[in-house]
Structure 1
Amino acid sequence: MKQINQLAKLISEAKSIVFLTGAGVSTASGIPDFRSTDGIWTEDRSREYYTSVDYYTKDPYDFWRKYKEIFQIKLLRNFQPNEVHNFIAELETQGKDISIVTQNVDSLHSLAGNKHVVEYHGNLNTATCPVCGAHYDLAYLMEHDVPVCTTTDCKTVVRPDIVLFGDPITKHSEAEMAIASSDLMLVLGTSLLVTPFSLLPSSAKQYGIPMAIVNRDPTPMDDLFDHVIHADLVAVVEQLKQLI
């Protein structure tokens, strides 16, 4: 495929690459795609309410029960990086300056070995007490149906370290800095439907760097990109590995 050959050439020649990644990167690891045409959110829009700041504030105990079910917390330790995560990590070991801005909350990019990962929506592996700031790891979250802060005299129900619906985004500036310091942008496995993440390709366009997107389905932002590939992401990565 001509587009894949061109993309392989861009990757080979680039010194600094920024990846914007979404749920499609993690589906090969068994993690559901929340926002594809047949994803979880389309099955039950109430999930947005149950993973919102408002619901955590209203009923933190039931929030945690639904949160663990929706994000399959019990299975989190079973998820491992797949061919796409490993491909990006290999580019870094080959000497390329790699930055990743990810919508995913599974921390698989870091587990694969990439060092500069901007977790745009936070991660599922930790939680923080909103009152005293104490931090808790996945092991503690797994031990308790409803994790409560153990700090003396606190006992507050902790909050997961993901961006809940209604939360502000705090990583946007860091993401834009990663884009500004790169000479190639690759967008992988995201529908680009969620703002302000969906605004990041426009930032890259302003810098005039080459831009490519690989996603199973068309996105509203496809016209911004120099190279657009609608195909299975793992299959595309396998072809790129043979060409680079």
Structure 2
Amino acid sequence: MDQMQTLVSWIKESGNIVFFGGAGTSTESGIPDFRSAAGLYTAEHESPFPPEVMLSRSFFMARPEVFFDFYRSKMLHPGAKPGGAHLLLAELERRGKLKAVVTQNIDGLHQLAGSKAVLELHGSVHRNHCLDCGRFYGLEQVTGSAERVPRCPECGGIIKPDVVLYEEELDHKVLMSALAAIAAADLLIIGGTSLTVQPAASLITYFKGRHTVLLNHDSTPYDDRADLILKGRIGEVMAEIERQL
């Protein structure tokens, strides 16, 4: 039995699958990973700021105009469509097999594909709030604003995306829900992530189920924990899995 057939058989046998994913899940939808996007911005704007600085809380508060210039031009992709990975995961949820998607992405493509049980460790571009009065806004309040820094129409306060910036902590409730989902799973599929961003990556160490599967283009620090490793473009791998299910 080859690797693909093995994974398909494990999916068929499983009743509690959790998917843990990162940027590679969305690159085939035309969304570059964070470092690639930051590199493009730096080259175009001759920016002296490294990516970790531009997406930090302190930089957001001190230089919001530069933050939003980078954020709007490189981090927002409102026209992106779900790829093969998003679609298969949504289908597995509909079949009652997949219990949760734990994602480091902020693009909302899992929900667009139809997934309901999505735990967004790093927040979402689709949720934004005023730092002064707390009113919540959708993505259009950021993309449609003519101002360099989007402001609340009600009080004039700066609107901040509900994404976790450097120097900010992950949402405790989301973190605990992700931990519980991974701990309860019998099959953990990890895809499109280098597993180097902490504390998110360490969540997979709580898995106590039967099989761990890694779908990734490159090696990760957790390869030795995997029962099965499939290399390649995650969307193509997922599309082939769907054909065999």
Shift of 1:131: 2.3
- Does the aligned pair in 2 maintain the 1:131–1:156 contact within 8 Å? yes
The corresponding residue for 2:46 is: none
The corresponding residue for 1:174 is: 177
For residues 138-189 of structure 1, the C-alpha deviation after alignment (integer angstroms, 9 at most, x for no partner) is 12212213211122xx311111110011110113211101112321110011
Find the aligned partners of 2:158 and 2:132 in 1 and give their Cα distance. Answer: 9
**Correspondence 1:193 to 2:196:** yes
Find the aligned partners of 1:183 and 1:167 in 2 and give their Cα distance. Answer: 32
Find the aligned partners of 1:42 and 1:224 in 2 and give their Cα distance. Answer: 32
Find the aligned partners of 1:164 and 1:34 in 2 and give their Cα distance. Answer: 12
The corresponding residue for 2:153 is: 150
Worse-superposed segment, 40-49 or 16-25: 40-49
- Does the aligned pair in 1 maintain the 2:128–2:161 contact within 8 Å? yes
The corresponding residue for 1:58 is: 62
What are structure 2's unaligned runs of at least 5 residues?
A: 43-48
Find the aligned partners of 2:39 and 2:224 in 1 and give their Cα distance. Answer: 25
- Does the aligned pair in 1 maintain the 2:190–2:215 contact within 8 Å? yes
What code does the residue aligned with 2:106 have?
V
Find the aligned partners of 1:135 and 1:40 in 2 and give their Cα distance. Answer: 27
Where do 1:51-200 residues align within 5 Å? 51-71=55-75, 73=76, 76-144=77-145, 145-151=148-154, 154-170=155-171, 171-200=174-203
The corresponding residue for 1:230 is: 231
What code does the residue aligned with 2:14 have?
A
Q: State the percentage of identical aligned residues.
A: 35
The corresponding residue for 1:7 is: 7
Instruction: Flag as ranges the 4+ runs of structure 1 deviating above 4 A.
Output: 41-45
The corresponding residue for 2:26 is: 26
